[in-house]
């Protein structure tokens, strides 16, 4: 009798923990479509737009690690994005457009961002909620001002342009490069949030005190979250600089962080894919609305329209688009879940 019941019980537990199988089909299908896009359309602007969406999607996903998975609101996340972008820009501007220097930019970015994330995190992550958000705002402004004033290096808000290796200048090649980067980061971040450490982050988001009284060192976990989110954001910054071939203090602004915050909230926090969806919607809407400017000048102020869209989503879909969809699906499945768990 026991040798029958134990495996069944274990099987039941596995069943309870595993996600519906379709959670993998959608991303893979989407990836295949995206791989095919350059074969279907030769439109340069389309490829550029998608590349931008991928890169901002990486940035937004890194923000979701903080906001959606650890439950911390940061206004200084662009700091890490900007560090990656400046690292790339400065190295290429001062040396030459050789591929080897790219690895220097990536490696240097990882190192610098890790140190920054640890120091800033150590100084600020002890504070809770609003106070933490305020400290990150202060750090963001501090680094923005440094970048602004240190004109001999950064050329301030005017920025500077630089050449990138010839192979990366090809739009189709760079489209695939950024798509591969995106896919790798999705795999890595999914792995991370499903790891024992990632699960503890979600526990901290839910109830910091309880996590602490389970014996988890909350500050250390928040630091890990901050470093991983920071490093991923710096990758996005590197990719961004390579696409734009231009860096200015714009990459460091609080606006940039707010962009990631909006994308994550629109798509759905704590879902990872929601951040990507948010990046897609934001990118498409921006593009579409600025094209409508030819029809009527009001659309030049696309940010206003976007603001209305954002308010609508926050009011009517508090879980974001993906979050709301998932909730609908889980309520639909609920009776079957209860039965399978109850018997």
Would you count residue 214 as binding another protein (CB under 8 A)?
A: yes
Residue 192 CA to chain centroid, in angstroms? 14
How many positions of this chain bind another protein (CB under 8 A)?
Answer: 39
- Nearest CA to 326 among 277, 286, 285? 277
Task: Give residues with Cβ within 8 angstroms of 128, minimum separation 6.
Answer: none
Beta-bridge mates of residue 246 = 161
- Nearest CA to 154 among 254, 257, 55, 246? 246
Least separation in angstroms between CB 155 and another protein: 38
Place of tokens 């920054």: 116
Stretch that binds another protein, among 87-95, 192-200, 243-251, 284-292 (CB under 8 A): 192-200
Structure token digits, residue 232: 């991923």
Helix then strand then coil, % of the chain, to nearest 5 = 85, 0, 15
Which helix H or strand E contains 202, and what residues bound it? helix 196-206
Would you count residue 8 as binding another protein (CB under 8 A)?
A: no
Structure token digits, residue 169: 């200048």
Structure token digits, residue 261: 């915050």
Q: Which of 8, 18, 22, 331 binds another protein (CB under 8 A)?
A: 18
Would you count residue 342 as binding another protein (CB under 8 A)?
A: yes
Binding letters toward another protein, positions 194-213, x by CB under 8 A? xxxxxxx-xx--xx-xxxxx
55 or 117: CB nearest another protein? 117
Would you count residue 91 as binding another protein (CB under 8 A)?
A: no
Strands annotated E in the chain: 160-161, 246-247
214 or 311: CB nearest another protein? 214
- Nearest CA to 261 among 84, 57, 65, 67? 67
Q: Which of 1, 4, 17, 39 binds another protein (CB under 8 A)?
A: 17
Least separation in angstroms between CB 202 and another protein: 7
Q: Which of 120, 218, 233, 281 binds another protein (CB under 8 A)?
A: 218
Would you count residue 217 as binding another protein (CB under 8 A)?
A: yes
Binding letters toward another protein, positions 219-238, x by CB under 8 A? -xx--x---x----------
- Please report, as ranges, the residues that interact with another protein according to CB under 8 A: 9-10, 13-14, 16-18, 191-192, 194-200, 202-203, 206-207, 209-218, 220-221, 224, 228, 337-338, 340-342
């Amino acid at each position: 009798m026991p040798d029958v019941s134990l495996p069944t019980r274990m099987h039941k537990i596995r069943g309870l923990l595993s996600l519906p199988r379709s959670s993998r089909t959608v991303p893979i299908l989407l990836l295949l479509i995206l791989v095919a896009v350059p074969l279907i359309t030769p439109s340069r602007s389309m490829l550029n737009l998608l590349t931008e969406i991928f890169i901002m999607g990486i940035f937004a996903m890194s923000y979701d690690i903080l906001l959606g998975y650890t439950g911390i609101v940061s206004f200084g996340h662009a700091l890490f994005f900007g560090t990656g972008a400046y690292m790339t820009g400065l190295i290429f501007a001062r040396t030459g457009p050789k591929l080897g220097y790219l690895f220097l930019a990536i490696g240097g970015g990882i190192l610098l961002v890790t140190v920054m994330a640890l120091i800033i995190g150590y100084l600020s992550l002890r504070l809770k909620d609003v106070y933490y958000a305020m400290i990150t705002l202060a750090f963001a402004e501090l680094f923005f001002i440094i970048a602004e004033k240190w004109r001999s290096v950064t050329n301030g808000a005017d920025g500077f342009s630089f050449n990138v290796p010839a192979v990366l200048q090809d739009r189709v090649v760079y489209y695939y490069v950024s798509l591969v980067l995106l896919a790798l980061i999705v795999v890595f971040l999914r792995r991370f949030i499903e790891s024992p450490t990632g699960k503890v982050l979600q526990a901290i988001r839910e109830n910091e005190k309880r996590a602490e009284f389970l014996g988890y060192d909350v500050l250390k976990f928040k630091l890990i979250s901050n470093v991983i989110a920071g490093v991923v954001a710096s990758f996005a910054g590197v990719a961004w600089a390579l696409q734009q071939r231009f860096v200015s203090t714009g990459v460091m602004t609080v606006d940039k962080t707010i962009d990631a915050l909006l994308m994550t909230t629109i798509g759905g926090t704590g879902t990872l894919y929601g951040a990507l969806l948010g990046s897609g919607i934001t990118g498409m809407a921006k593009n579409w609305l600025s094209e409508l400017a030819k029809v009527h000048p009001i659309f030049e102020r696309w940010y206003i329209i976007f603001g209305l869209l954002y308010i609508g989503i926050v009011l009517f879909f508090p879980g974001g688009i993906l979050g709301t969809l998932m909730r609908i699906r889980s309520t639909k499945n609920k009776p079957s879940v209860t039965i399978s768990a109850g018997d």
